[in-house]
């Protein structure tokens, strides 16, 4: 077996392995998307106060 044939065969195995891994990841992501439920967080009594300076006095 020549070196070119060996490297081509090795590269093909790597590419095929990467493709198989990607397909497994896609399958896992699809399963997670179907089974997970969205749980919104509710924030109560959230206040935003802006401070301004008016003639040297601080106003809230």
Q: How confident is the model over 6-43, as pLDDT tens digits?
A: 788 888 888 888 999 999 999 999 999 998 887 777 76
And the tokens for 55? 């003639």
Buried b (16+ CB within 10 A) or exposed e, 33-55: eeeeeeeeeeeeeeeeeeeeeee
pLDDT given for residue 51 in this prediction: 60
Q: pTM of the full predicted structure?
A: 0.49
Higher pLDDT, residue 56 or 27: 27
CA distance 42 to 48: 16
């Amino acid at each position: 077996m020549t070196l070119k044939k060996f490297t081509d065969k090795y590269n093909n195995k790597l590419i095929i392995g990467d493709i198989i891994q990607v397909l497994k990841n896609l399958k896992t992501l699809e399963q997670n998307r179907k089974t997970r439920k969205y749980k919104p967080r509710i924030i109560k009594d959230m206040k935003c106060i802006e401070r301004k300076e008016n003639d040297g006095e601080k106003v809230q």
